[in-house]
Amino acid sequence: MSATSPHAVFNAADYLVDRHIREGHGTRSAVITPSQTLSYQDLADTVHRVAHGLHQLGARPGDRVMLCMADDVEQLTAILAAMYVGAVPVPVSTMLTGKELGLLLADSRAKVLCASTEFAAQVAVALAAAPEVTDVVFDAAPPVDAPTGVTLHRWDVLSCAEPMAAPYPTSGDSVGLWLYTSGTTGTPKAAMHRHRSIRSVAENYGVGVLGISPQDRCLSVAKLFFAYGIGNSCFFPFAVGATSVLERARATPASIAKRVRAAQPTLFFGVPTFYSSLLASDLPSNTFSSVRQGISAGEALPAVLFNRLRDRFGIEVLDGIGSTESLHIFLSNRPRQVRTDSAGIPVPGYEVQLRTDDGAVIDSTKEPGTLYLRGPSIAAGYWCRDETTRRVFQEGWLRTGDVCVRNDDGTYSCLGRSDDMLKASGIWVSPAEVEKRLLQHPAVAEAVVVTAPDEAGLDKPVACVVVDEGRTVDPEELIGWCRMELASFKRPRAVVMMPELPKTSTGKIRRNLLRERVAHVLTTIEITA
């Protein structure tokens, strides 16, 4: 794999796009959407024009350009164009409320905002809280009135500009991308990533683990505003001259199946909850016949899901662990070498350690510890969060907050987040272990285990369960089901049936909300001994 000096001239957008033109591959298919297909030459021409258009709006090297956009050509080219001009793209979740978007605009001090028209209502509210924004570019006719001091533009102000002749000469160490953490349990923080980190994740994971080649087509459930999604749909395919398949709409089994049939992707990137929804659908078993490899991240993929996906659709799904701070996956299973209920081994180029609460390195297997990571794509830190940066980024290591164990075969299994681990009868319990057992019950579709205080104020495990449509099961039956295979102290003290579980836009379970919802369960029912 090639190395890039942190001080040498290196622009990630030039690496991802223009390099293919120089190498004579401009006719290759770069992007497929439901409405259009772009070659690498088409993509380069558009990126150059949008880059010059951003420059004309005042975007200068180091300036932030925020994007609240659906996954389409406009979002993709704006991300690349901002990097091309030396500015810093900041793609943010389209699930944000106007108030939340305003907080991020103010925090980032972005002057330019690019938005899709379907999010105009949020933009209108956000601009009131972001006085530094001077220009907003919509992907169609601006559907809102401009507040004082803000100019609204149609997308053609960017796409019809004269092309920029050359990329800004950023270095490998120049900040090239910000990604905000999800903030489900705290204030969102912007992780600042370098230009060279984009090349690192593409080569170390995309090539080193997935073996991605120019013949591959990548389709991702996770959107471009997430670390997982931007790697899947931008960095990995464009690093090798492959094709990105974009889906603007929210992912559902039906919408994804339609894109799969039309675009025939070879790499499919999902999350456990979406894979579960695929299994609950009536899609034919040959839906994913074009897919040579499935990938999962976001949460641990239970063995029962892995097996059902393989048996039903014939796809092998590689589970892995990544984070916003590391830019993508750093622990992963390998093709045809999957150990179920594990996240695999370190991705090439990365080193991991397990540490105790007092910082001692754990050398033995089977002993839980907090996962620390060292590697080439670790963020430079958080924007304007000095204390948190020093706590999370420690002497070249990233404290991930994941609690893991190293297995006898060298693979790692994630037991949950450090604040998700449970103590029952004074003993640590992995919620994932209890959830795995619940999911083995034929009536259970989804299960999450959190804690709730009992009459004595001691936290005990409580299971939140969604059953398959048309099925019923008694809570006491599920408690007994767990007791059959697990030590007694691991069993849920109560089972709460729910129509659905609260999730983030990436499909991650919002455990903090579940804890709030079940906080009084054990103080209002008779507890099973």
Asked whether residue 294 falls in the same domain as residue 412, the answer is: yes
6 falls within a domain: no
- Does one domain contain both 240 and 126? no
pLDDT of residue 3: 55
Pair 430, 413 in one domain: no
| Shared-domain flag, residues 18 and 74 | yes
Q: What is the DSSP letter of 17?
A: I
Per-residue pLDDT of the chain (529 residues; tens, 9 = 90+): 445 566 799 999 999 999 999 999 999 999 999 999 999 999 999 999 999 999 999 999 999 999 999 999 999 999 999 999 999 999 998 888 898 899 999 999 999 999 999 999 999 999 999 999 999 999 998 888 889 999 999 999 999 999 999 999 999 999 999 999 864 345 789 999 999 999 999 999 999 999 999 999 999 999 999 999 999 999 999 999 999 999 999 899 999 999 999 999 999 999 888 898 899 899 999 999 999 999 999 888 888 899 999 999 999 999 999 999 999 999 999 999 999 989 999 999 999 999 998 999 999 999 999 999 999 999 999 999 999 999 999 999 999 988 999 999 999 998 877 767 776 765 668 888 899 899 999 999 999 999 888 876 778 899 999 999 899 999 999 999 998 988 777 899 999 999 999 988 667 888 889 999 999 999 875 444 3
From 378, 398, 417, the end of a domain falls on 417
Q: Are residues 320 and 244 in the same domain?
A: yes
Which residues span the domain enclosing 471?
422-524
Same domain, 76 and 207: no
Q: Which of 193, 218, 248 is the last residue of a domain?
A: 193
Domain annotation covers residue 2: no
DSSP code for 405 = E
Q: What is the pLDDT of residue 528?
A: 40
In angstroms, rounded to a whole number, what is the distance separating the alpha carbons of residues 284 and 147? 50
- In degrees, to the nearest 5, what angle opens at C-alpha 97 toward C-alphas 92 and 101? 45
pTM: 0.85
Ramachandran area for residue 335 (φ above 0: left; ψ -120 to 50: alpha; else beta) = beta
**Number of domains composing the chain:** 3
Are 122 and 61 members of one domain?
A: yes
Amino acid letter, 424: A
Instruction: Count H helices and E strands in the chain, helices first.
Output: 18, 26
- Whether 285 is covered by a domain: the verdict is yes
| Nearest by Cα to 57 from 78, 74, 40, 72 | 78
- What local confidence, expressed as pLDDT, does residue 526 receive? 47
What whole-number distance in Å separates Cα of residue 221 and Cα of residue 269? 6
Do 176 and 202 have their domain in common?
A: no
- DSSP-derived 3-state class of residue 320: strand
CATH (domain of 388): 3.40.50.12780
CA 377 to chain centre: 15
Among residues 417, 435, 461, which one ends one of the domains?
Answer: 417
**374 close to 354: Cβ distance less than 8 angstroms:** no
Is 207 within the bounds of a domain?
Answer: yes
- DSSP per-residue string spanning 422-488: EEETTEEE-HHHHHHHHHTSTTEEEEEEEEEE-TTS-EEEEEEEEEPTT----HHHHHHHHHHHS-G
Q: Measured at the alpha carbon of residue 524, what is the angle toward residues 520 and 528, in degrees to the nearest 5? A: 105
Q: What's the rounded Cα separation, in Å, for the pair 194 and 177? A: 7
Residue with the two structure tokens 């039906």? 254
CB-based contact 128:102 (threshold 8 Å): yes
382-406 as b/e, with b when 16 or more CB fall inside 10 Å? bbebeeebeebbeeebbbbebbbbb
Q: Which two tokens stand for residue 434?
A: 């209890």
Kindly state whether residues 250 and 380 are assigned to the same domain: yes
What's the token pair of residue 492? 């849920």
On whether residue 1 sits in a domain, the answer given is: no
Q: Which helix (H) or strand (E) holds 270?
A: strand 267-270
Are 138 and 201 within one domain?
no
Same domain, 451 and 518: yes
Instruction: Give the CATH number of the domain where residue 101 resides.
Output: 3.40.50.980
Instruction: Return d(Cα 173, Cα 11) in angstroms, integer.
Output: 10
5: in domain: no
- Retrieve residue 443's tokens: 């009536």
Residue 99 near residue 23, CB atoms below 8 Å = no
| pLDDT of res. 409 | 95
Q: How far is CA 147 from CA 135, 140, 314, in A?
A: 10, 18, 53
Beta strand 397-406 with 393-394 is antiparallel
Answer whether residue 20 is part of any domain: yes
The answer as to whether 506 is a domain residue is yes
CB–CB of 430/415 below 8 Å?
yes
> Is residue 376 located within the same domain as residue 518?
no
